[in-house]
Structure 1
Amino acid sequence: MARGLTVADALSLSSLSGAEVVAGAAGLDRVIQRLNVMEVPDILPWVKPDELLLTTGYPLRNTPQDMVRLVRDLAERGLAAVAVKLGRYVDELPGEMLRAADELRLPILLLGDEVAFDDVLNQLLTDILNRQAATLARSEEVHRVLVNVILAGGGLAAITNELPALLDGGVMVTTPDGRVLARSGVSEEVLRDPHHFDLTSGRFHMERFKHGVRALDDDDPRVVQVPILAGNLDHGRIVLISHERPIDHTDVHVLERAAATAALVITKDLAVAAVEGKYQGDFLRDLLAGRAGDPEHAVRHCATLGWDIDRPLVVVVAEMDPEPASPVPAAGDLRPVHERFASAWTMVVRERDPKAAIAGYSQEVVVVMGAGSSGSDHARTVRSMVAQVSGDGGGGRRPFATGVSRVAASPEEIPTAYEQAKQAARVGRQMHGSGAVADFDDLGVFRLISLVPDSAELRAFMTETLGDLAERGDAETEDLRTTLEVLLDNNLNVAETARLLHFHYNTLRYRIGKLERMLGPFTTDPHLRLNLMVALRVIRMRGLRP
């Protein structure tokens, strides 16, 4: 609990003020938590880590050659330092011993003749006990404050609001992958620092900073995080970012107390949210399926849940990519992926639309939110939310595809909008793979292609229309297929196509002739052009290559 004092701190005390560091100066940051006196030959079994060992050298007066081995044995046991008084039994310390101490970073202190061991013992023990008492007093104060927060029904925000004054720094509570749930005292400069935060998603880069007392191994520790654990579940991190001074053991101890309190708050909130979420999820499922009753009743019921569906709306569906079955999580593993996924979406949606309806299911999250004042507002908003939820892959979140519906002008249109969003997500994944964000209005012909249930029929159409361009997968065929697609997309504008593909005009004319010999006179036959364009769109849809 208490860190004690460093060897450097001990040298500033009056009883050791005249001591000389004759070796191991690189280890003056070692911590003293105990004191011992060596005046018997078999001291090693009684030596403990973090001790300051006082000696006159009496046990070694006849065997000074053993001092090198003694230094190595003491360093191996984690001794803090050795303080030696010369002149009575040992006149000087061997050079080999001092070199070994330098190598092992074990401080060797030379005490003056006037130094009394009892003065050193009394003063250092008093200082250590005072530090421990101060730590206990601070811990009790933190305990009292946090208990009052719990008794007053405060949440994570209340905890983070109380801690900066107690810790002299900014405090955050995050999810297991670094999404900030509550914060207080964190400066704007830190929030804009890319070393601390992902500037796109706002995620705290928890993987860059050490946990608990391990953070104190750094030369100037300014960031420390402690896990918030309850039972077998990891609920996140509580993070201290110090502005004015390095973090010490007492700060870590206080943060651990706060983490235990945060675990109680989160566990309580999750229990309440589980009941409310089940009820809300069931009702939203009925609303999406058109089983929520007449529109007026649905509007009123949603209002009691904090949702506003009496306005222009869009439905957003975020579908997680399939993943092979995994073993049962071990103790301490993260919460189930779908729970973290739903929590992340809930957090980013609430920032933008507090009255949006949102629910998480086994493989998808559904959001019914306001459409915004213009046609493009909701598209930009959804892409921004996807960027926040995706972040930089923090926490191992599973990839997902997102679909956005057309605007639903009334509650009756919500079921149709839901089907549109699901279709957009499915087609977007086929077209662009994981991470796709697709708007139903932008699907175009892909929407019609996705409705064909028989993939074999699509492949047959693609092969019949494109011939060798569909059947062969070599580099030359890929190049010709790209040329054809760009040419058709530019309405047979040869000059523009040559510019886009960085071809000479005559080179492109040659390629067009070759393509017409393979496919037919598509430059003059509009029906053939249409078939070719559709076949190329089929190729672009993932999973439908021959």
Structure 2
Amino acid sequence: MTSDPAAPAMRLASTGTIIHGVAVGEVLGVSTLAGARLIAGKGGLDRIVQRLNVMEVPDILAWVKPNELLLTTGYPLRNTPQSLGRLVADLDERGLSALAIKLGRYLDELPEEMVEQADRLNFPLILLPNDVGFDDILNQVLTDILNRQAATLARAEEAHRALVQIILAGGGLREVTAEVAGLLDVAVAAVDVGGHVLASAGGAEQVAMLREAYVLSANLSTSPEPTRTDAADPLVRADGHYAVVPIVAGGHHHGRIAAFSQAGTLRDSDIRILERAATVAALVVTKQEAVTAVESKYRADFLRDVLTGRGGTRIAERAKAFGWDLERPVSVLVAELDPESDERTAQDRLLAAWQASVRRHDPRGAVAGFSHEVVAIVGSGVDTARLTSAASATFADCTFSTGMSRIAPGAEALADAYGQALKAARVGRQLHGPGAVAHFDQLGVYRLLSLVSDTTELHSFVRETLGALAGDDDAENADLRRTLHVLLETNLNVAETARRLHFHYNTLRYRIGKLERMLGNFTEDAHLRLNLTLALHVLNMRGI
């Protein structure tokens, strides 16, 4: 990483918030503190100083703030030196960075208990030279903090201008990550919300280490104590090797930008630049999403025209512009969300699942999302069962029903194939419930029944044919309807029906007599048996 002596220090608070300022060890290096001496708390030299305060009253605890360097002559404690033993613990508890004290005027020495406690808490205890005034320390240290913060802002602004120029020039995430990697001399990767790499840049070795250690999954998996902040805050490993900044636009998370420094010297200014890069990356992502949405709508409009017979001429040629091959024998599949699904968000995720599945099984296949369904057109050699299963596997939180058409020899037959697939999806759900998968050729008589658009007429036919057996209000009638169904299914084989229903032969004979009194002499009337069979099939079609 390039050196930047003006860059302020950085550390993580216990809450995971990044704290910017100057480390206590750096404060001791300013000229006014050349004669200062650290007498305890060496382990806390990396504590960050953001402000300074002077202890003038005994109840100073009510006035101190976290990350302060507290200066004192001991005057407020001159009459109660015994309170010094507890002072260090109280200041540490309130998040102060260090205590700097002058001896000789009001206090001759510090209690041994105070020094031991400072070492135990890693709380820096600094002995100030008597010839340095507090105003000199305040001016120099505060000036140093402000200068470093100004340098950080200037560096971030310079990086921001370079990143914005990339956007204005039509660049994308690849150019953004390359720019950041060059500015910081680190490995940088942009990942989506699923942890997949969108772009990466930097030295090959560092990029490989970033991929291996970060695993690009929002976890700093190799960090002994990774600190996660709120979703909108950076995630930084305390040793300075890794940093992750979310890409957020419009309140939505679109992924992250991750950086890795092999030297472990990621600093505050670097985090600021990563944050600017994440802002620019959000612009890139939202621009790409807008373009994708327009292209998706154009594809969907074209495919809808083809499937409704309004595609015009040169369909196959126009389809090639989208990477689709419609000149070969194909099948049409329709996936419809089941009624209990959250329509809007689920529809988008259903389309993404089918796009991924078709891309894997048939790269020349066509996929488009309509208002209520997703339509896929794939080659006749594609295993549609595996295709549907793959889409279901990535869309596990709700269900959809799928219908498959017969093989269409070419683009001119796609309209009929689409109608077949749509019918198979809807009849399949009616027969088997949510999540059904049905092929048009396997619908049998239900294909014919589905052609009847007037469901009132179907209901009337069921009531007229089955009478009291048409409803489920009476348990005995529902049981008799089950007996009738098995009888017709076995072609009036009484022995087989009795075996399936676990009835005694005489019991079944009694039930047949009762059914004939209710329905007519169906054992002798083939036409009546056909009507009864159709009525039972209509009842079996859920939703009709």
Q: TM-score range by the shorter chain?
A: 0.5 to 0.7
Q: Which of 31, 36, 54 is the matching residue for 2:52? A: 36
Matched, 1:380 2:386: yes
Q: TM-score, normalised by structure 1?
A: 0.64
CA distance in 2, matches of 1:321, 1:52: 64
The residue that corresponds to 1:264 in the other structure is: 283
Q: Structure 1 residues 260 and 195 mapped into 2: Cα distance closer, same or farther (>3 Å)?
A: closer
Segments of structure 1 that go 5 or more residues without pairing to the other structure are 197-207, 327-334, 498-504
CA contact (8 A) 1:494 1:508 kept: no
CA contact (8 A) 2:189 2:197 kept: no
Matched, 1:359 2:368: yes
The residue that corresponds to 2:307 in the other structure is: 288
In the TM superposition, what is the alpha-carbon distance from 1:411 to its structure 2 partner? 0.8
In the TM superposition, what is the alpha-carbon distance from 1:407 to its structure 2 partner? 2.3
2:408 aligned counterpart, secondary structure: coil
The residue that corresponds to 2:17 in the other structure is: none
CA contact (8 A) 1:356 1:370 kept: yes
Q: Which of 49, 53, 76 is the matching residue for 1:59? A: 76
CA contact (8 A) 1:317 1:422 kept: yes
Q: Which of 147, 169, 174 is the matching residue for 2:192? A: 174
In the TM superposition, what is the alpha-carbon distance from 1:409 to its structure 2 partner? 1.3
CA distance in 1, matches of 2:173, 2:274: 14
CA distance in 2, matches of 1:427, 1:518: 32
Listed as ranges, the matches of 1:103-114 within 5 Å are 108-111=123-126
In the TM superposition, what is the alpha-carbon distance from 1:227 to its structure 2 partner? 3.7
CA distance in 2, matches of 1:138, 1:10: 20
CA distance in 2, matches of 1:401, 1:276: 26
CA contact (8 A) 1:3 1:31 kept: no
CA distance in 1, matches of 2:393, 2:149: 47
Aligned-pair RMSD on alpha carbons? 6.2
Letter in 2 for 1:53: L
In the TM superposition, what is the alpha-carbon distance from 1:414 to its structure 2 partner? 0.6
The residue that corresponds to 1:213 in the other structure is: 233
Moved more, 78-87 or 312-321: 78-87
CA contact (8 A) 1:83 1:110 kept: yes
CA contact (8 A) 1:379 1:439 kept: no
CA contact (8 A) 2:245 2:278 kept: no
CA distance in 2, matches of 1:402, 1:2: 59
Q: Which of 332, 335, 352 is the matching residue for 1:315? A: 332
CA contact (8 A) 2:25 2:45 kept: no
Q: Structure 1 residues 381 and 324 mapped into 2: Cα distance closer, same or farther (>3 Å)?
A: closer
Deviations 1:204-257 (A, max 9, x none): xxxx9952426459999978451431xx47372235386987998666544432
CA contact (8 A) 2:365 2:378 kept: yes
Q: Structure 1 residues 122 and 427 mapped into 2: Cα distance closer, same or farther (>3 Å)?
A: farther
Q: Structure 1 residues 471 and 477 mapped into 2: Cα distance closer, same or farther (>3 Å)?
A: closer
2:502 aligned counterpart, secondary structure: helix
In the TM superposition, what is the alpha-carbon distance from 1:51 to its structure 2 partner? 2.5
In the TM superposition, what is the alpha-carbon distance from 1:372 to its structure 2 partner? 4.8
Letter in 2 for 1:418: Y
CA distance in 1, matches of 2:484, 2:72: 87
CA contact (8 A) 1:82 1:107 kept: no
In the TM superposition, what is the alpha-carbon distance from 1:286 to its structure 2 partner? 1.9
The residue that corresponds to 1:298 in the other structure is: 315
CA contact (8 A) 1:346 1:358 kept: yes
Q: Structure 1 residues 414 and 137 mapped into 2: Cα distance closer, same or farther (>3 Å)?
A: same
Letter in 1 for 2:325: D
Q: Structure 1 residues 92 and 14 mapped into 2: Cα distance closer, same or farther (>3 Å)?
A: same
Listed as ranges, the matches of 1:91-170 within 5 Å are 91-92=110-111, 108-111=123-126, 139=156, 143=160, 146-147=163-164, 149-150=166-167, 153-156=170-173, 159=176
Deviations 1:8-27 (A, max 9, x none): 995777959955359xx9xx
2:374 aligned counterpart, secondary structure: strand
Letter in 1 for 2:281: A
The residue that corresponds to 1:238 in the other structure is: 256
Q: Structure 1 residues 183 and 285 mapped into 2: Cα distance closer, same or farther (>3 Å)?
A: same
| Aligned-pair identity (%) | 39
Q: Structure 1 residues 55 and 340 mapped into 2: Cα distance closer, same or farther (>3 Å)?
A: farther
Q: Which of 475, 486, 502 is the matching residue for 1:509? A: 502
CA distance in 2, matches of 1:168, 1:486: 77
Q: Structure 1 residues 75 and 242 mapped into 2: Cα distance closer, same or farther (>3 Å)?
A: same
CA distance in 2, matches of 1:423, 1:138: 62
Q: Structure 1 residues 31 and 312 mapped into 2: Cα distance closer, same or farther (>3 Å)?
A: farther
CA contact (8 A) 1:171 1:241 kept: yes
Deviations 1:71-118 (A, max 9, x none): 899689x634342548653844999xx89xx9xxx9744445789998
CA distance in 2, matches of 1:512, 1:365: 51
Q: Structure 1 residues 226 and 192 mapped into 2: Cα distance closer, same or farther (>3 Å)?
A: closer
CA distance in 2, matches of 1:264, 1:293: 38
CA contact (8 A) 2:330 2:407 kept: yes
Q: Structure 1 residues 281 and 154 mapped into 2: Cα distance closer, same or farther (>3 Å)?
A: same
1:293 aligned counterpart, secondary structure: coil
Letter in 2 for 1:310: E
CA distance in 2, matches of 1:444, 1:30: 78
Q: Structure 1 residues 356 and 156 mapped into 2: Cα distance closer, same or farther (>3 Å)?
A: farther
In the TM superposition, what is the alpha-carbon distance from 1:147 to its structure 2 partner? 4.7
CA contact (8 A) 1:7 1:81 kept: no
The residue that corresponds to 1:228 in the other structure is: 248
CA distance in 1, matches of 2:45, 2:525: 82
CA contact (8 A) 1:52 1:79 kept: no
The residue that corresponds to 2:440 in the other structure is: 440
The residue that corresponds to 1:417 in the other structure is: 417
1:370 aligned counterpart, secondary structure: strand
1:53 aligned counterpart, secondary structure: strand
CA distance in 2, matches of 1:459, 1:300: 47
The residue that corresponds to 1:331 in the other structure is: none
CA distance in 1, matches of 2:52, 2:328: 77
Indicate the structure (1 or 2) with the bigger Cα radius of gyration: 2
CA distance in 1, matches of 2:416, 2:63: 78
In the TM superposition, what is the alpha-carbon distance from 1:370 to its structure 2 partner? 2.8
CA distance in 1, matches of 2:142, 2:380: 68
Listed as ranges, the matches of 1:367-516 within 5 Å are 367=376, 369-373=377-381, 377-388=383-394, 390=395, 392-393=396-397, 400-455=400-455, 458=458, 471-472=472-473, 509-510=502-503
In the TM superposition, what is the alpha-carbon distance from 1:124 to its structure 2 partner? 8.2
Q: Structure 1 residues 513 and 252 mapped into 2: Cα distance closer, same or farther (>3 Å)?
A: farther
CA distance in 2, matches of 1:38, 1:539: 87
Deviations 1:524-545 (A, max 9, x none): 999799878766665554435x
Q: Structure 1 residues 114 and 69 mapped into 2: Cα distance closer, same or farther (>3 Å)?
A: closer
CA contact (8 A) 1:2 1:135 kept: yes
CA distance in 2, matches of 1:192, 1:525: 73
Segments of structure 2 that go 5 or more residues without pairing to the other structure are 1-6, 15-21, 29-35, 201-206, 221-227
CA distance in 2, matches of 1:94, 1:486: 97
Letter in 1 for 2:453: P
CA contact (8 A) 1:238 1:259 kept: yes
In the TM superposition, what is the alpha-carbon distance from 1:381 to its structure 2 partner? 1.8
Letter in 2 for 1:238: R
CA distance in 1, matches of 2:174, 2:493: 61
